[in-house]
Amino acid sequence: MLSEVERVLLEAVHDEDPPARLRELVEDAGDRLTVDERSWLLAADADGLRLTGLLVVKLRFERVLRGDAALRREFDADPRALLERFRRYAREVPAAAVFPEDESRAFSAWSS
């Protein structure tokens, strides 16, 4: 089970603006975070959070492509269109898949 600190960080790095989302989540956490945990989270480097967020999104997109050859071909044919669909998917569908096939199935189900 994730600790509240882990849950907050995980949700923040999946957001389009990780530093802003982290601040919101810390404010909303109430007594689920200690004073030390709040301080630690709010002291996180904003650029580091953004970079981590970009890496997380990149890895998720790679899972989508690795899990489905048709999606790879679609990306080769029109990368902008697929990236835009993926951005909407990433905003709307919480990350849960570990394996490429699971992520691409989730993406395809969402796209349908």
How many domains are there within the chain? 1
% pLDDT > 90, the chain = 92
pLDDT tens for 81-106 read 999 999 999 999 988 999 999 999 99
d(CA 31, CA 21): 18
pLDDT tens digits, 13-47: 999 999 999 999 999 999 999 999 999 999 999 99
pLDDT of residue 112: 87
The neighbour count for residue 61, using CB atoms within 10 Å, is 19
> Can you give the residue range of the structural domain that contains 17?
4-111
